[in-house]
Structure 1
């Protein structure tokens, strides 16, 4: 039986994210570090809608992510002075302080993960991943969450 491609990708993701989590465990958040990097890259100009488009997440998921980052003191919302219907997502000083460590951790892990792999092979790897995404995109599929909350049911009778 052929092993599903997704299994290998998820194994790699677990190892990578586990190592990353260990490096940044002192931070007040356990996920969405990459979202902070995106907000920093856009220098406080992205809206929730723009972040959702960039990351491929739906708008309601992005609202929850920004809410969490806001509660933890990493971001805040500000009305866009040029379009009052939009809220810009801005970094707090706390986030600015943690951004260099997040960048450094991702760089370290990326370097370690690709150690001994030639730039040509990495290009092929990225091309293959992109082609797989293109191939699978047209299929009818369900969105899957890897951190799905399980609804508890009342077992009393």
Structure 2
């Protein structure tokens, strides 16, 4: 009996990314829970913390590969908890800019410190050079997938899925 062909390399990588993402979300929730955060909150705080200027909800969503509605829900919670404020956007009347507060910056720093030990273990085991290659490959993959998504016509049912 012939054994089935292994997964094509792209599909195997996609499945590995899905698995890694699930583990990263679980680990994120575990390490930032003591700081009163979730992985989703940390993700939005991180997008803001690493951006050179404040971002709108849509810009955060695009940068993180999330839906605008999902980011809006998280931003609303972060506003309620004093981690971010909404400020006028000089480039768009209705799309406010999301700005980290001092409390939000402290929460992000706490999350980053909590992630430090696992980051160090990853770096020690995999090495900076291999991590750099992985980052480059993921960046190229993201670019290809983004281009493919941009080429897909908008479905009249798209809003039902979000």
Alignment TM class, shorter chain as reference = 0.5 to 0.7
Q: Distance in 1 between matches of 2:140 and 2:87?
A: 38
Residue 47 of structure 1, CA deviation: 2.0
Q: Note if 1:9 corresponds to 2:9.
A: no
Match of 1:62 among 68, 71, 75: 71
Q: Is the 8 A contact 1:52 1:62 kept in 2?
A: yes
TM-score, normalization by structure 2: 0.66
The Cα offsets for residues 1-21 of structure 1, whole Å up to 9 and x where unpaired, read as 435433322332333333332
More helix by share: 2
The Cα offsets for residues 64-87 of structure 1, whole Å up to 9 and x where unpaired, read as 22112223332221224x457141
Q: Distance in 2 between matches of 1:37 and 1:9?
A: 20
Q: Larger relative CO (CA 8 A, sep 6+): 1 or 2?
A: 1
Equivalenced residues, count: 143
Q: Which runs of 4+ in 1 moved over 6 A?
A: none
More strand by share: 2
Residue 104 of structure 1, CA deviation: 1.7
Q: Note if 1:110 corresponds to 2:110.
A: no
